[in-house]
Structures are given as C-alpha cells and as structure tokens.
C-alpha cells in the first residue's frame, strides 16, 4: 500500500515542482506578454496569464475563481479516491492519475496565489496560434490521454475474452 502512494508522490510532486519553478522563472525573467522565439513561426516562450480555465473558459465570469478553485480541489480528491481503488496491475492508470493530480495541483497553486494561471509555452503555425499553456496543462493532457489509451486497451481485452 505504501509503495502505491510513493509512486503517486514520485510522479505528481516533480510535476508540481517543475511547473512552479518554470512559472516563477517566466514571471521573473519576462515582462507580461514578452516572448522569446525558439523556433521561428512555430514555438516561443511567452509570459501570458489565463484567469479562466482551458482556452480561457469562464475568463470574464464573476464566480470563476471560487468555482475553479473548488473544481481543482474536488478533482484532486477524486483522483486520490480513484487511485486508492486501483488494482496493482493498473500501472498505466496509476501514471495517468498521478500526472493529472500533479497538473491539477500545479494550476491550483497559481489560482490560489495569483488568481490566475501563468502560461508560457506558445505553439503556433505562422499566425495560427494554439492557446498558451504550461507544465501543469501538459501533465493534465498527457494524463487524460493515457486514461483514454487505457480505456481503449481495456475494451480490446474485453472483446478478446468474449
């Protein structure tokens, strides 16, 4: 049982630390909206802020901050509750949930501390921009992707058994 939670901490804590350290560096080294081109017409480091959720959802809502903080806390508790019930062979789901927890907590820290999330990774194709994101967002997306992959694999296993 202890090893299970050690794995959760071993994955989620480095995500949280890396997320917070990179955001701190961006805030200290770049002025708001300042950017550094890494790959011309494709990738830059930028100091951006997102007061909302994904794709600036709820950006201008008066209840956004309490709502997003509550959702982050509930999601984190739900991830831990689900994690507790995993079978030992569900390693991919364990990794996915640990990444999701790390990402959720990383962005939660920003919301509590700053009232918004610091974003700094900016991918685009010439003038076609994807919304800026950060390490926590990346961990969340990879975690959700791994959950989807596990669901597909599980469905295939069930079909083979029939």
Is 60 noted as a catalytic residue in this protein?
no
pLDDT at 24: 98
| pLDDT tens, position by position, 40-99 | 999 999 999 998 776 566 666 677 888 889 999 999 999 999 999 999 999 999 999 999
pLDDT in tens, 6-41: 999 999 999 999 999 999 999 999 999 999 999 999
**Structural domains counted in the chain:** 1
d(CA 5, CA 13) in angstroms, rounded, equals: 11
Question: What is the phi-psi region of residue 55: left when phi exceeds 0, alpha when psi lies from -120 to 50, beta otherwise?
Answer: left
Q: Residues 19, 60, 110, 137: which is the catalytic one?
A: 137
Catalytic-labelled residue, pool 60, 110, 119, 150? 119
pLDDT of 34-44, one tens digit each? 999 999 999 99
Is 137 noted as a catalytic residue in this protein?
Answer: yes
pLDDT confidence tier of residue 4, bands split at 50, 70 and 90:
confident
pLDDT at position 131 is: 92
Read off the pLDDT of residues 85-143 as tens digits, 9 standing for 90 and up: 999 999 999 999 999 999 999 999 999 999 999 999 999 999 999 999 999 999 999 99
CB 21, CB 96: distance < 8 Å: no
The range of the structural domain enclosing residue 136 comes to: 2-161
């Amino acid at each position: 049982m202890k090893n299970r939670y050690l794995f959760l901490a071993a994955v989620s804590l480095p995500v949280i630390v890396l997320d917070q350290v990179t955001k701190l560096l961006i805030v200290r080294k770049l002025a708001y909206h300042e950017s550094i081109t890494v790959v011309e017409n494709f990738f830059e480091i930028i100091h951006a802020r997102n007061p909302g959720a994904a794709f600036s959802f709820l950006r201008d809502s008066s209840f956004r901050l309490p709502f997003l903080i509550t959702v982050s806390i509930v999601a984190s508790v739900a991830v831990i509750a689900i994690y507790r019930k995993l079978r030992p062979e569900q390693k991919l789901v364990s990794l996915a949930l640990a990444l999701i927890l790390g990402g959720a907590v990383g962005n939660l820290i920003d919301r509590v501390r700053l009232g918004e999330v610091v974003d700094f990774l900016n991918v685009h194709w010439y003038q076609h921009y994807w919304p800026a994101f950060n390490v926590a967002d990346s961990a969340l997306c990879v975690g959700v992707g791994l959950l989807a992959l596990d669901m597909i694999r599980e469905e295939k296993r069930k079909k083979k058994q029939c």
